[in-house]
Structure 1
Amino acid sequence: MGTVTLGVSIAVPEPYGSQLQGLRAGFGDAAAHGIPTHVTLVPPTEVEADRLPGIRAHLAEVAGAFRSFPMRLEGTGTFRPLSPVVYVRLVEGAPDCTRLQGRVRDPEGPVNRELAFPYHPHVTVAHGISEEAMDRAYAELADYAADWLCEGFALYEQGSDGVWRKLREYPFGTGPAPVPAQSAPAADTAAGAAARHS
C-alpha cells in the first residue's frame, strides 16, 4: 500500500491561526501556506498506510481520556543556533501538551517514534529563512499574545505537494482533571527546554 507522512498537532484557532500564518509568509517562509499554524504533538512521521486504522483508534482513545485545558501564547523564542527556528512561546498549557504528546507517542502504541530534540511545545513563525528575516520575526512578534481553550487535537497528512491537510479531529473527553495551570519560564534554547521537560 505504500507509506504516508503523518503529523499530530493542536491547531491554533482563528483568528490567531491565520494571523500567524500570514505573518510567517510575510517573513519570507515559503512553507507557511502549506502548514496550518499549530503546536506539534508528533512531528512528521512516515508510516505504512495500512497502519492508519490502528493509529486513528489510538488517537481516539488518547483524546477520550484527556480533558480540555487553557493555552496562552506570549512573546518569542528561538532555537538558534541549534536549529533555524523562531517561535511564539507557549506560556500556559505546556505541561498539558507535554503530557498529551507522551500519551500519543506511547512506546507501546502505534506512534512510538523517537524525537530528535527534547519535546518543547511552541508555535513556529519562521523556519530556515535568512538570519535577518528571523531577527525581524523575533522582534516583531515579541509583544504577541493569544489565549484559548484547547479542546482536542488533529491528525494531518502531508501531500505530495508538501501541503499538510487535516484527516480527522479528535475532541477531548472527560479524563482526569488537568494539572493546575502554570506559566512556563522563558527559555530561548533547546537546552532550556530540555531542562524543563527532563
Structure 2
Amino acid sequence: MVRNTAKCVLFVAASATLGLTACSGSDSGTKSSGATGTHSPSGSASAGASALTASVRGALKALDTADRDVPGGQSFDLEKETGTGGSPVWDIKTASNGKDQYNLSVSEDGAKVVNKRQDMTPDDDVAKLKDVRIPAQEAVKLAAGHRQGEDLKSIEIDRNSTGATVWQVSTVKPGAQNGTETILDARSGKLLGDKAAD
C-alpha cells in the first residue's frame, strides 16, 4: 500500500512538472522570435483570440472579407483610414490570382466591403506575393501575439536589406501616439525585429 501511494505521488509530481513545462513552452513560443511560435499558427492564434484587441479582430475579418471578395484573393496591404462618410474603414490592397490588383475599403468591423475598384497599374508589391508562405492574416496574429494588447494600424509587404520578403506590421498601445513596427519573415513567420513606426 505504501509502495503504491509512493508511486502515485511520483506520477502526480511528474505529471505536474511536465504540465508546467508544456505550459511555459507554449507561452514562450507565442512570444519568442524563434521558430516555435511560427510552426504552430493555430497555437499562436488560439493563444489569444479573446485577448486580441478589437482592431486586430476587425482587421483579420476585413482581410478575410477582402480575400473572399476578389477572385483568387490574397491581401498584401492594409491600413486604417477614415472613409468617405467619416467612419473608420480598412483600406486593403488585394491581388487577384497573383497579378491583378483591387483596392477595397472594408468596414471597421471587417464585415462588409464598402468600396471596391480594380487598380489598372498594380503595385510592384503584387510580385512579392510569390515568395509568401505566411499570409497577411497569420502575420497579423503573430505580431499581435508578440505585441499583446496593442491596436493594429497597418500591415504591408516589403523586402528588407537582404532582399528577403517581409511583413511589416504596425501596432500602437491604446492611447499612445507612436507605434512599433514588427518585421516578420514572409516565408517562415520568424520575428526579425521591432523598430519605431514612422
TM range (shorter): under 0.3
TM-score (norm 2): 0.24
Larger radius of gyration: 2
Structure with the bigger percentage of helix: 2
TM-score normalised per structure 1? 0.24
